[in-house]
Amino acid sequence: MTDTSVNQQPGRLPWWIALPAAVVGGLLFDVANPGAAIWPLVFPAVALLLASWWQQRAGVAALAGLAAGAAFWLTHLHWLTLYLGPVPWLGLGLVMTAWFVLQGTVTGAVTRAIWKLWPWRGATQGKRRLAPLGLIAGQAVAAAGIWVLREGIQGTWPYGGFPWGRVAHVFADASFGALVSWVGFAGLSGLMVFAVALVVGGCFGAGHGARLFGASFSHRARSVAASGGLLAGGVVLVLGMLALVPPAALEQTGSLRVAAVQGNSKSGIFDDRESGDVYADHVRGTEELLDELEATDDRVDVILWPENSAEFGLTDNPLRGREVALLSKRAGAPIVVGSVLANEDGTYTNSSVVWGAEGQSESDAGTRYDKRFPVPFAEYMPNRSFFRALAPDLVDLVQLEYEAGEFEPVHGFEALGREVVAGVAICFDIIFDDQAERMVSNGAEVIFAPTNNADFGRTDESVQQLQIARLRAIETGRALVNISTVGTSRIIAPDGHDLDGLLPFTRGAMVATVPLVQGETPALAYGALIAAAWMTAGLAGMGLSVYCRLRRG
């Protein structure tokens, strides 16, 4: 006799377990990231999140998404409260949580729809033995695609998006990080979520009605759970093999001796300082660097200062311009300087310029770059009148309106007897995939990432940003110099390891010889296609869900 009773309802967690599982999953996801940075916890974190949504009813899935999003984002972004208080933190946290609510609801609907539409679900016992793997794989691909789709949309909308807190970011210091040079950020997120989703699907018995809690936990349910254990073993084996994959290597064309100065400046919004203090700190830091180089008969090819290190209007300030030029002449190397520059229409740009012994340099690649991704509600105020009516005191803190830059994100400067091209990503520019693609397509041989983390003090923000920068170095196959006004500052090799670094909140300089490379890693050549494939899988699952509802209607 064929037992079809187990095929009447999709397996799912009861609400009173799904909601706590979502909270724990969200909290573990944060602990997997810096500051704690216990990256292996990302696997149980993603498993708990997916399990809370798997084949779940819409209302419970939405609540689980709300619980997971609030637990993760309000913890992960707590650094926003340091100077700005709870309103911006709650605002950004709730927007990001809304994406989790949507993801949870859609994941529940899609995995449930695939279960309902699976052709062998009600077949004979013999055929049902063949069904689980295909059904699990279909659900896992769709769930991973939805995850990547959420990360992608979150990184572009609203107000340009905020691609923070992606699954890929967790692996910056793990052996799996090398995979980002082959499949890109979205590809790495999709691959890891897919691996976990296979195990989750296996534990739910491929949705064959095996209730994990309650009196109907039958012998068949136990056998399906055992099959899930075997599937988990296979996934662990494959992940172990992937952990051995080295980063993609590119052709090295030379090496560059680079120095970067951390002024340890009072450069936050509310820091008590005088005009010129931040600039003076970096002048002193550069003088101390040159003293040390001269004492050891050493030299460098280029010196990098952080974001906003020259404060306002370097190009219109003859005195400061001359002083930087003299430092460049003494060093025998150009200095890449951050400054806020005014436009004729009253707007401003957050800029980086190359300064030589004769002043602002010229090159074919360009010696000025304006930040392409100014931060909404910090560097400009979108819909100012609307938000001012809600929080006038906070909105009035944003007095300048920074414009998005139009220059390509590269600098050219003379070194090694030729023009060297460096990619430039100012502060949060580094978190956007498009920035990496533009830097490399415009010939970047090394990446400069000047930033100013002073507004976030000793919170986790700077190390979270650093882990993204580290992955960006691996993804592009290029050395990266992440220099901050206060830290965390590192010179990172193309494989992700540190070449030099500085303690936070100390004045000093880091110096290292970095490789110059040419070409594209597979991630840059095919990463957009891989991301599109994952997103298409998510959209296809959503299409099946819509079809299932229409058919039921």
What average pLDDT score do residues 75-84 get?
89
Name the pairing type of β-strands 489-492 and 480-484.
antiparallel
Structure tokens at 113: 């729809």
What average pLDDT score do residues 246-256 get?
95
433 vs 392, residue with greater confidence: 433
Q: What are the distances in angstroms from CA 131 to CA 50, 63, 109, 235?
A: 21, 31, 20, 19
pLDDT reading at 471 higher than 90: yes
Q: Using alpha carbons, select from 22, 229, 169 the residue that is nearest to residue 470.
A: 169
Tell me the pLDDT band of 2, cut-offs 50, 70 and 90. Answer: very low
The residues, ordered by sequence, that sit 6+ positions from 424 with a Cβ below 8 Å of its Cβ are: 336, 352, 369, 409, 410, 411, 439, 447, 448, 449, 450
Average pLDDT, the chain: 90
What average pLDDT score do residues 143-149 get?
98
What average pLDDT score do residues 377-383 get?
84
What average pLDDT score do residues 30-59 get?
96
Q: State residue 6's pLDDT score.
A: 43
What average pLDDT score do residues 69-93 get?
91
User: With pLDDT > 70 as the criterion, what percentage of the chain qualifies?
Assistant: 92
What average pLDDT score do residues 32-39 get?
95
Tell me the pLDDT band of 347, cut-offs 50, 70 and 90. Answer: confident
Indicate the range of 43-57, 71-85, 250-264, 411-425 predicted with least confidence: 71-85
229 vs 17, residue with greater confidence: 17
* pTM given for the model: 0.93
pLDDT reading at 433 higher than 50: yes
Tell me the pLDDT band of 207, cut-offs 50, 70 and 90. Answer: very low
Tell me the pLDDT band of 135, cut-offs 50, 70 and 90. Answer: confident
Q: Are 193 and 46 in contact (CB under 8 A)?
A: yes
Residue 156 C-alpha from the chain's centroid: 12
The residues, ordered by sequence, that sit 6+ positions from 61 with a Cβ below 8 Å of its Cβ are: 52, 53, 104, 105, 107, 108, 109
Separation CA 226–CA 215 (nearest Å): 18
Q: State residue 224's pLDDT score.
A: 52
Separation CA 316–CA 157 (nearest Å): 36
Q: State residue 218's pLDDT score.
A: 52
Q: State residue 344's pLDDT score.
A: 84
